[in-house]
Amino acid sequence: MTKQCGFPYKNFVTPLEKSLSPGRLDLYERLAKNAGADQLENALQLYCWNTSLSQAFYWPVQSFEITLRNAMADAIADAYGDNWYEDIASFSSSRRSVDSDEIKQVKKAQEKLDKDGLAYGHDTIVAAISFGFWAGLLKGEYKAKLWDPLFSKFLPMIGLKEAFEKTHHVKDLRNNIAHYEPIIVFLPSSNHRELFKDYKLILKLIRWICPDTAHWVEFHSAANFYSAWNSCPDFLKVARLSSKVEGGEADSQNWKWV
């Protein structure tokens, strides 16, 4: 049985509320009250659960971002040369008169490199550009020059529209985690989020690009996520994870939920 948070919240409610702020805890209080648990310590237990899950996503989220961006960047460089970032507009079917978001993000990366005293180049640009740039290259306007000849080769299981949607779904989760926001519910609806499905989605996307990398990520993260998810406070009614085989918690393909 997975252990729940055993911290004695009842003795620390006032200082924790002050440190975290009533505004930050408001959503967790409402979730607890909706579940029939109306004490502030219950909200703090949910906050703890949210933080544990955010931590459990570190391996898969950062690995997906890096795996995807490197696969995309290497494919572009092989096709268009190491200075591809100088001609982003040529990859787009749009003939807009202003800079696209992707061009703006390249310029922002160059400004960062200037500040750090680093020269522009394939490796430095790739490292400096945000995840939003790579997700943006999955827009329809890049289909002819990037998706069809390049990206579809390492994401052959899905089409461009689905790749865009799934990648942006993971990006939104990544941003929620990075900004210390709630991930146990969808915002602004506050509907409960079955995050184990997000975990499995991320592993599937990595596996399509590189099965060996997916195996490495799962080895280091599946059991931790399984434990974090099942540490949900008893008062919150969400599906719990179990394994189809004894000792199978470290392989998400063995998971089932009830």
Per the document, the length of the chain is: 258
If asked whether residues 163 and 189 sit together in one domain, one would say no
Give percent above pLDDT 90 in the chain. Answer: 88
Residues 81 and 53 sit within 8 Å (Cβ to Cβ): no
Q: Which domain holds residue 121?
A: 67-170
Look up the pTM and report it. Answer: 0.92
Residues in a beta bridge with 192: 185
pLDDT digits (tens, 9 = 90+) for 163-194: 999 999 999 999 999 999 999 998 787 788 99
If asked whether residues 47 and 130 sit together in one domain, one would say no
If asked whether residues 96 and 145 sit together in one domain, one would say yes
Q: Which two tokens stand for residue 42?
A: 């219950």
* Three-state DSSP state, 38: coil
209 alpha carbon, distance to own chain's centre: 16
pLDDT value of position 4: 77
pLDDT value of position 65: 97
If asked whether residues 46 and 119 sit together in one domain, one would say no
For residue 224, the number of C-alpha atoms closer than 13 Å in the C-beta half-sphere is 15
> Which residue positions in the chain have pLDDT lower than 50?
1
Q: Round to whole Å and give the CA distance between 38 and 65.
A: 38
pLDDT value of position 78: 97
Q: Round to whole Å and give the CA distance between 140 and 147.
A: 9
Cis geometry, peptide bond prior to residue 8 (ω within 30 degrees of 0): no
If asked whether residues 152 and 201 sit together in one domain, one would say no
pLDDT digits (tens, 9 = 90+) for 12-52: 999 999 999 999 999 999 999 999 988 899 999 999 999 99
Task: Name the helix (H) or strand (E) containing 198.
Answer: helix 195-209
Question: Is 146 a domain residue?
Answer: yes
Q: Round to whole Å and give the CA distance between 138 and 68.
A: 11
Residues in a beta bridge with 256: 242
Q: Which amino acid is at 239?
A: A
Domain count, the chain: 2
Question: Is 175 a domain residue?
Answer: no
pLDDT value of position 2: 58
